Amino acid sequence: MDYFVIEGETKLEGRVEVRTAKNALLPCMAAALLTPEPVVFKAHAQLQDIAYMAGILRHLGATVEDEPGRPMVITAEEIPSPECPYDLVRKMRASAVTLGPLLARFGRARVALPGGCAIGARPLDQHLKGLGALGADIRIEHGYIEAEASKLRGAEVVFDMPTVGGTQNVLMASVMAEGKTTIRNAALEPEIADLASLLIKMGASIEGLDTGTLVVEGVPGLHGAEHACIPDRVEAGTFLIAAAITNGDVTVESANAGHLDALLVKLREMGAAIELVNGSIRLRATGELRAVDITTAPHPGFPTDLQAQFMALLTQARGAGVVKETVFENRFMHVPELMRMGADIRIDGNVSVVNGPTPLNGAETMASDLRASACLVLAALCAKGRSEVRRIYHLDRGYERLEERLNALGARISRVQT
Ligand code: UD1
């Protein structure tokens, strides 16, 4: 298991380019199962999660051409058996989005239940409710979701909560269903509209992009297409917070500021200077930061995927900042690690109160999940002395060579391979 050694008290300066959003690319890769023709994606970041999804598609029988720096081509000409086994699914929960497209194209799917994960139980009940509404017969047997439908039929699906994966699954299941499907309380995350725009290029009929109601008219079949997924808003946000926590000046290029409104508002409230120029976001620290409160919420609220990184920043801000996590029930695992570095944080249920500023001291820390790892790296950048961040395999799932890109901005991070 690789780990990072980080020398702290660095100031980040310069420009960094944000990569394609993995959370957009993963469901789009699954959408390639909807057609026997090739679906081509612009070159993307080399990430473990993308390799996992490619592995699942290959297991199903698709060909995935994926050379670094070149477009990825997925061709799902024949799928001998629409089944995703547990050993592949357990590595990445997002593999559950193969359920909708497999069911739509082959009339049946057998996908292992991914199980719980560090940040919460994350049930799939809404996915199954939506697929059931479209006429699928669904059983859970031996830890597998077994879904069958001789013909999916358009229906009205109303989610209890706006679920990103659930909306993607039901959307992909509905594009070739007979008649009209209306998905209400659909998630508004930009990754949904990105998937919908790929599906439209493939021949689907979808209206209501970027609204809470998606209306789909089923078509008999889909064809190949080319697509460039949206930039990674979580990665862009992580770099901006890295600039702020190190009192630095960083320009994040190829980002979509419109996807980051909730974060940018809070960074400005804290006292950072933010400029938007031609698709770039520049953050310049302007002295002491003021504490602010955040509440995570579905888009366009403050993203839960930036909560941990933002909490690291609050340790360096003056005053008490209240962090309320409303999306996942167990997403404060970075807190004890931050406290070991000297942070003053109290947790009460889904609320944490961060009192700052506290000088952080380098320490040996352990990453518990993807975004918590990013939080610990950011804390180590501004801490006094040397830190270790262990279990960075979590980080590699979602950030491409983060250490090299932060080092190009002035960080001192080395990866130790064991
Ligand atoms: C996606 C993102 C993840 C992000 C999350 C919330 C990907 C690959 N992952 O995860 O990075 O943190 O959105 O923005 O895009 N829920 C249910 N039943 C369901 C589905 C969801 O109760 O059937 C609950 C979840 O437990 C959670 C909330 O709804 O509390 C939101 O989950 P959801 O939007 O589905 O997250 P994911 O799609 O898993």
- Domain boundary among the residues 178, 206, 227 is at 227
Euclidean distance between CA atoms 209 and 231, whole angstroms: 18
Torsion of CA 230, 236, 237, 240, to 10 degrees: -160
CA separation (Å) from 76 to 24, 106, 246? 19, 12, 46
Decide which of 278 and 412 is more confident.
Answer: 412
The one-letter amino acid code at 102 reads L
Query: Is 271 within 8 Å of 300 (Cβ atoms)?
Result: no
pLDDT for the residue 116 = 62
- 56-64: average pLDDT: 97
Tokens of 257: 């500021």
Euclidean distance between CA atoms 247 and 244, whole angstroms: 5
Any long-range contacts for 346-352 (C-beta under 8 Å, 24+ apart)?
A: 350/324, 350/325, 350/326, 351/322, 351/323, 351/324, 351/325, 352/311, 352/322, 352/323, 352/325
Same domain assignment for residues 302 and 377: yes
Phi, psi for 331 (deg, rounded to 5): -115, 40
CA 385 to ligand 1 centroid distance, Å: 37
Which residue shows structure tokens 């999804």? 53
CA separation (Å) from 318 to 22, 189, 271, 354? 34, 31, 11, 10
Same domain assignment for residues 256 and 214: no
pTM, 2 dp: 0.97
Atom of ligand 1 nearest to the CA of 125: 23
**DSSP character for 217?**
E
CA 93 to ligand 1 centroid distance, Å: 10
Which of 334, 340, 331, 336 lies closest to 387 in space, CA to CA?
340
Query: Is 368 within 8 Å of 333 (Cβ atoms)?
Result: yes
CA 407 to ligand 1 centroid distance, Å: 32
Task: Domain count for the chain, please give it.
Answer: 2
Ligand 1 pocket test target in 111, 127, 163, 324 with most atoms within 8 Å of CB = 163
- Domain boundary among the residues 227, 244, 268 is at 227
Ligand 1 pocket test target in 28, 29, 47, 164 with most atoms within 8 Å of CB = 164
- Domain boundary among the residues 227, 243, 266 is at 227
Residue 352 domain boundaries: 3-19+231-416
Query: Is 213 within 8 Å of 166 (Cβ atoms)?
Result: no
**DSSP character for 200?**
H
Catalytic residue among 28, 84, 117, 229: 117
- pLDDT one-digit tens code per residue, 158-192: 999 999 999 999 999 999 999 999 999 999 999 99
CATH of the domain at 333: 3.65.10.10
Write out residues with Cβ below 6 Å of ligand 1: 23, 26, 93-94, 120, 122-127, 161, 163-166, 187, 191, 304-305, 327-328
Residue 382 designated active-site: no
pLDDT for the residue 398 = 93
Same domain assignment for residues 45 and 100: yes
Tokens of 160: 């209890």
- Nearest-CA residue for ligand 1 atom 5 is 164
- Nearest-CA residue for ligand 1 atom 35 is 163
- pLDDT one-digit tens code per residue, 200-225: 999 999 999 999 999 999 999 999 99
